[in-house]
Structure 1
Amino acid sequence: MDGCKSIIVPLVLLLAWRVSCADYYSSYYGAKLTSAQVDAYRSNGTLANCTNVVEPCNPNEPRRINGTCNNLNNPTRGATRTPYYRLLDASFVKASDSVFNPRVSACTGASLAGARDLRRTLLVDGRVEDDKLTHAVTHMSVFFATDITNTQDTTNYVVWRPYCCKPEGANDPQCAPNLVPADDYVHRFTNIGCLNMTKPLTFQTSGCLAQTTTPLRIVDATPLFDLSPVYGNVDEPARRTKSGGELRIETIDGIMFPPTSGLNLLLGVNFIGIIFFWRFHNHIAKKIAEVNPCWTDEQIFQTAREINIASGSQILYYELMATLMGADNLIADGVLAEDQSTFRDPYDPTVIPQISLEYPAVLRWMHLMQDGALKFYDSKGTYLNNSFPMVNLTSNINFIKRNGNMAYITQGCFRQPTGKVNDAVVDPDLLNLGLGGLQRSNDILTNDLAKNRYFGFPPYVKYREFCSGEKVTSFEDLSSIMPYWAIDALKSKYSCFEDIDLLAGVWMESIIDNGYVPPTFYCIVKEQLLHNIKSDRHWYERADRPNAFSEEQLCEIRKITTARMLCDIGDSVSEIQPRAYELAGDDNVVVPCSEIPDMDYSVWADSTCSELKSKQ
């Protein structure tokens, strides 16, 4: 394990040789482990959680499914179960060597207001439609969020610890239920006084670090945008057909879906995004096979995967985030290339592939703009006066597969408005149901706020100082980024401005110029988007990377849009507005799919195939 001899290995033995030469690394520290250290992890049952197995890195190989070897100097970084980084140092109250409690009031020393009490003061229940953005924003945002995080924290309190509001929960240190105020305007009628929740799963709870160390979240996702919800984060042969480079599908009533049995898929609302990119892989594979009839299944699969990941990154950066955060803003901050006609190389090997702990936390702000109903539209855009509660997809994913529902939902994706942006009104299903049939009641936004405290985030004003460079000295200093009624609401629940929770402050902010998001959201998300392109050795815009696109191929990737993807793989999509994240209007007119620019896949044609064909 600690060194492989340089030998020539027959091709048939190559895979076995690579595995035998694999090394174990600490998932947290990223250091190579000795045999004795590996044996110690194995003996206490933490080997799977606390280590990564890395086969020898080849600088010229393509992106690995498991994310290893993205950074050649730090081979584990980019893999699963590797640590987040923090934009700001953790802020806990350390009660003992093994107990890290959420921070308390900076001015009184008392506990902060309860999360449900705070949430119901700052945000109200209601349904108001936005006049600009479509439901595609929330579908795709959820999908890209699950690319770099996972649902184990939710599984913990839904499946493993459903008892945190019961007497046995008092003896489980992982339980952290949210108490419901007696005068709660919903639950005073239901007799529900407690909402089940657990603390985040950490390197400490997984046995990787001592309980005396500062808690840090552990997840099973890879930290780079690599479409891992589609391809997995470990090699899973069952995902592939082994024919024509395609992924396995199941066909129900003539409609194609990813198989949902025997595979490690994260299901729920993100399943809609998985369907889109799963189908798009197979669409790309067919196109590549057409122009390269002599290619093997493996060649087609790897090329289709490269194109699909690049297409996803192009959509995420240049379309979704450009819509939400403002393309001009992101160009000015170096996130987007102003000149998209050629390559750019932002890669810096000293920047480690990681996600900031704050990034997925502030993404939860987008729950404010989520409509709780999936509305049904026909192929001509007529609302069919029918809908389905989105929260119920958590426990009833088969609903999508029946009675043509996927086609109706796909049409609604680009025809249905989101919830109103920045009005402090949240869909009641998210605030009182949350997980459909899995729990009697769940307040997703209360959980978001409460979990932030167990992550140990510093107060909101510290992030304002980080983002603006200006010190906050009073509530009134926030008047430039939030209305006075919002400041008054915060004053009613926080004893001093130093107490405001990160997410609570972001909830109250006004949106930025030329965008649809609050300034602190913009700041933290921008930092992550930059970090990602600097740390990803396989970033698709680079000319100097393994299997890099030609300039001609990159120009074709630039053409991909969500509208084009839905035209290619969406059920019954024959017409669509070019900017699918914005509602159709005078400057975004619905047009036939034939008028939406498409990629020319012939630029991936291998001349060798043409030569072979001509000789036959």
Structure 2
Amino acid sequence: MRLVARNIALLIVVSGILTHCYGYLVQHIQHQMRESESVMHWYGADIKERQERSAQSPDDLRELCEELGYYIKPETCRVSTLKNYPSADGSCNNLLHPSWGKAGIPLRRYLPSEYGDGIGSLHEAEGGRKLPSTRKISNTVVGNNSVLVPRLNAMAMQFGQLVDHDVGHAPIHPNMCGCETKQHCIPIEVPADDPIFRIRCIPLSRSKTVPGPECDVDKPWEQMNQITTFIDGSILYGSSASAQADLRAPGGLLRFRQNPYNESLKPFLPDDEENVQCNGRDSEFPCGKAGDKRAAVQPGQSALHTIFMRYHNQIAEQLSEMNSHWDGEQVFLETRKIVTSILQHITYNEYLPVTLGADLMREHRLTVGSGNPYRGYRSGLDPSMPNIFATAAFRMGHSQISSNMTRVNVHYKEVYDPIQLRLAFFNGSAIHDVQNGGTDSIVLGMLVEPLEKIDRFFSEDVTRFLFADPLNSFGLDLVAINTQRGRDHGLPGYKKWRTFCGLPDVSSFHELSDVMATDTIDALKKAYTHVDDIDAFIGMVVEEPIDGALVGPTVGCILGKHFYNLKFGDRFWYENPTGTVLTPNQRESIRRMTLARVICETLDDIDTIQPFVFHVADEKQGGIESFADYSATHDYPDEAGGIPGFSNARVSCKDLNTIPHLDLNPWREIKETSNCGSSKREEKKDE
């Protein structure tokens, strides 16, 4: 049966390929890239063309910037946010600066852009040197060895990608590019002696550009973040009112697809009929639709989107039953607030500590919990997405991707064949593959699959087979694309980001030994003429990790800075005691939540789980077993990546002491009643 299922998956992928000639393939892979970066068609016209027209017409430029939301009035926000729920597009989160963090505004710059012509051409080397092809850099610097991180599992990579998709997404031009460099096309030259590719180039479209924050068309090009920058569940709810409306179902629920195999089992995401790149779109294996198109990019992301959709609906049903006087709108808004708060807490209490380490968590004031009181919302802090974060630093997770995704049964035994990533891009078959455990086997597999180290070693599935036609063994190179994207965005080179983050200035390759291994430095010397030329993404991803962290010092610096802004620059942050975001008892309920509990509540067939899901399970118990209790009073991990005094042995999902459930009692309200003609207002139980 496993062989049959694997062949079915292969056939489904192949069915999306209409022909295998080079001409069509160039178009096919470019179409894949457009879908993976989810092009936004703004108002039926190309923004850059409108910018060029606006250079002669200030009125047109003003109109464009108004459409993009640059000029939202604070007084409008105060009227529209009386109920204190976040808007769908992120606007009015900051009442003094309503556009900060909203969808559709320019990416921020920590350092000024460095375009070749100072305006918009690709970033170039200083002194007139020609930068090498990014495909050549990939061939020279990147290997495909597998270096594993002790103790941690693949859930760290998968959840990190989920967070990445919740906070940033830069759209690209829809032009069908080939190997000709033109206005919106920046093809990557493939060396004549390339060991794999037998083509002239890897086609690539440029990112869309928008006027800068001051709506000045004469300044260097800026790229946009087309989604909200806040950790606000936009992966589930979308980043616009229309997208949110399309994803909603009656009663405050999110849309779903009933399980076609057994209606008593938990549902799937609704079918995404608009995602033309889903190989299973014309079969019984559709891709799922969520708030972010990238939900379908690979089965791990589809699985995590699925469980959070299920969790939203479970909470909504409980709130509706608990507060029968609430209408569907209030149920939805309150549930969205709860799920968003849980996402925020898991990100800062579980994901970031293992990624950044205890020292950076303390340095950037990112630690959450009762032992680390919240220092207050700062209305002068701009949380908008930094270009360097979205385009280089937070792409470090691409090095953590494995070629095969482990699938296990309820007893964590690998009784199912692993999923080959190269066959699974935009393919809904694995989620529906009940013969091999379906969604359950994928999520549980993340908990046992070892985590790849962030380093110069990448899986061939992303450097050779990305969005590949399996018959021709031809795909894209994600490392080359990431590096070229940095040049497209005018990112300064790695050396300047070192300085920005407080590392010593360097003038030679050997001086990089403070953060890089000798073999890495040797590879960089072969790829680049001068240390000044090292691209931002390449330099950041090959740094050796800080003790107790997964990332090097430059990535750690940039991530720490922005996650600080996301925490203290979000008016709706779950710890914020001002306003009516959450009551004290509601906040305490959120602090007790873990990703382990979400998984326990949303899979069909699960008995046990480790309390801290980003670490592999311990074999024996001994020590504190509740991660909610441990994390409230301890800094972690230690310099070796361990969690001293904590037991991570698997326990039953029914063990609510070790893995607490979400206590919804603080959301219970007393219905308004009438007594002898006088009306009594609702009162919240926990106030």
Q: Same fold (TM over 0.5)?
A: yes
Asked if the contact 1:395–1:437 (Cα under 8 Å) also holds between the matched residues in 2, the reply is no
CA distance in 2, matches of 1:611, 1:598: 35
Between the aligned partners of 1:184 and 1:100, the Cα distance in structure 2 is 26
Q: CA deviation at 1:328?
A: 4.5
- Corresponding residue SS for 1:132: strand
2:112 to 89, 95, 111: 89
Aligned to 1:232: 238
2:543 corresponds to which residue?
A: 509
AA matched with 1:179: E
Structure 2: which amino acid aligns with 1:224? F
Which of 249, 254, 270 is the equivalent residue of 1:241?
249
SS at match of 2:466: coil
Matched to 1:344, the amino acid is Y
Q: Is the 8 A contact 1:81 1:218 kept in 2?
A: yes
Instruction: Say yes or no: does 1:136 pair with 2:155.
Output: yes
Shift, 1:227, TM fit: 0.8
Cα distance in structure 2, aligned partners of 1:602 and 1:565:
18
2:461 aligned with 1:429: yes
Post-superposition offset of 1:296: 2.1
Which of 487, 499, 512 is 1:465 aligned to?
499
Q: Which residue number in structure 2 is paired with residue 359 of structure 1? A: 389
1:593 aligns with 2:659: no
CA deviations 1:292-347 (Å, max 9, x no partner) are 2332222221111111000000011111111111235302431224x526852431
Query: Given that residues 50 and 81 in structure 1 are in contact (C-alpha distance below 8 angstroms), is that contact kept between their aligned partners in structure 2?
Result: yes
Instruction: List alignment gaps of at least 5 residues for structure 2.
Output: 1-46, 49-56, 274-288, 620-646, 676-687
Task: Tell me the secondary structure at the aligned position of residue 394 of structure 1.
Answer: coil
Deviations 1:491-532 (A, max 9, x none): 222222222111111122111011111111111000000111
- Between the aligned partners of 2:292 and 2:559, the Cα distance in structure 1 is 26
Cα RMSD over matched residues? 2.9
Choose the corresponding residue for 2:486, options 452, 476, 481: 452
Matched ranges for 1:354-393 at <5 A? 354-360=384-390, 361-393=392-424
Matched residue SS, 2:612: coil
Residues 271-420 of structure 1 mapped to structure 2, 5 A cutoff: 271-337=302-368, 340=370, 344-360=374-390, 361-403=392-434, 404-419=437-452
- Is contact 2:70-2:99 (8 Å) kept? no
Give the distance between the partners of 2:209 and 2:106, measured in 1 at CA. Answer: 10
CA 1:345–1:607 in structure 2 vs 1: closer, same or farther (change >3 Å)? Answer: farther
In structure 2, the residue matched to 1:500 is 534
Partner residue of 1:605 out of 644, 668, 676: 668
Q: Determine whether 1:102 maps to 2:107.
A: no
Which deviations, in whole Å up to 9, do the C-alpha atoms of 1:394-450 show, x marking residues without a partner?
33234423434212212112122222x145321111111112449941001110111
1:193 aligns with 2:200: yes
Compute the displacement of 1:588 (Å). Answer: 1.9
Q: Tell me the equivalent position of 2:552.
A: 518
Cα 1:533/1:571, change in 2 over 3 Å:
same
**Cα shift readout 1:66-92 (whole Å, capped 9, x = no counterpart):** 211111112222321111211111112
SS of residue in 2 equivalent to 1:217:
strand
Which one-letter code corresponds to 1:119 in the other structure? S
Whether 1:479 and 2:513 are equivalent positions in the alignment is: yes
Q: Is the 8 A contact 1:449 1:504 kept in 2?
A: yes
Q: Which amino acid aligns with 1:84?
A: L
Determine helix, strand or coil for the equivalent of 2:122: strand
In structure 1, what is the equivalent of residue 267 of structure 2?
A: 256
Secondary structure of residue in 1 paired with 2:407: strand
Whole-angstrom CA distance in 2 between matches of 1:493 and 1:292: 63
Whether contact under 8 Å (2:355, 2:551) holds in the other structure is yes
Distance 1:242 1:385, change over 3 A: closer
Tell whether the 8 Å contact from 1:176 to 1:197 is kept in structure 2 after alignment.
yes
| Alpha-carbon distance change, 396 to 49 in structure 1, aligned in 2, over 3 angstroms | farther
Q: Which amino acid aligns with 1:227?
A: G
Letter in 2 for 1:357: N
Q: CA deviation at 1:577?
A: 0.9
SS of the residue aligned with 2:406?
Answer: strand
User: Residues 112, 40 of structure 1: CA spacing in aligned structure 2 closer, same or farther, 3 A cutoff?
Assistant: closer
Cα distance in 2, alignment partners of residues 569 and 136 from structure 1? 16
What's 2:624 paired with? none
Q: Aligned pair in 2 of structure 1 residues 507, 41: CA closer, same or farther (>3 Å)?
A: closer
1:480–1:491 distance in 2 versus 1, CA, 3 Å: same
8 A Cα contact 1:164 1:198, kept in partner: no
Residue by residue over 1:90-129, the C-alpha shift from the partner in whole angstroms, topping out at 9 and shown as x without a partner, is 112217xx6523222x35x221111111112111124454
Equivalent in the alignment of 1:18: none
| Aligned with residue 150 of structure 1, among 169, 173, 178 | 169
AA aligned to 2:106 is P
Specify which of 217, 223, 242 is matched with residue 217 of structure 1: 223
Give the conservation status (yes or no) of the 8 Å contact 1:343–1:543: no
**CA distance, structure 2, for counterparts of residue 351 and residue 590 of structure 1:** 41
Classify the secondary structure of the residue corresponding to 1:198: coil
Distance 1:373 1:323 in 2: 23
Instruction: Give 2:585's aligned residue.
Output: 552
Unmatched segments (≥5 aa) in structure 1: 1-26, 29-36
Q: What secondary structure sits across from 1:256 in the alignment?
A: coil
1:561 to 594, 605, 611: 594
Q: What is the aligned partner in structure 2 of residue 40 from structure 1?
A: 60
Q: Relative to structure 1, is the Cα distance of residues 67 and 279 closer, same or farther in structure 2, using a 3 angstrom cutoff?
A: same
The secondary structure found in structure 1 opposite 2:112 is coil
Give the aligned residue type for 2:567.
I
Is the CA contact 2:393–2:537 (under 8 Å) kept in the aligned structure 1? yes
What is aligned with 2:32? none
Q: Aligned AA for 2:258?
A: T
TM-superposed deviation, 1:50: 7.0
Shift of residue 385, structure 1, vs aligned partner: 4.4
Structure 2 distance, partners of 1:38, 1:464, is 39
Q: Provide the identity percentage.
A: 24
- The 1:355–1:163 alpha-carbon spacing in structure 2 relative to 1, beyond 3 Å, is closer
Structure 2: which amino acid aligns with 1:143? L
Return the alpha-carbon distance in structure 2 between the equivalents of residues 451 and 257 of structure 1: 34
* CA–CA distance in structure 1, aligned partners of residues 247 and 673 of structure 2: 30
Looking at structure 1, the residues matched to 674 and 562 of structure 2 have their Cα atoms a distance apart, in angstroms, of 46
Instruction: State the distance in 2 between where 1:151 and 1:392 align.
Output: 26
Q: 1:487 to 1:334 in 2, by over 3 A?
A: same
Alpha carbons 1:343, 1:542 under 8 Å: kept: no
Letter in 1 for 2:272: S
Deviation (angstroms), 1:610: 10
- Aligned-partner residue type, residue 181 of structure 1: P
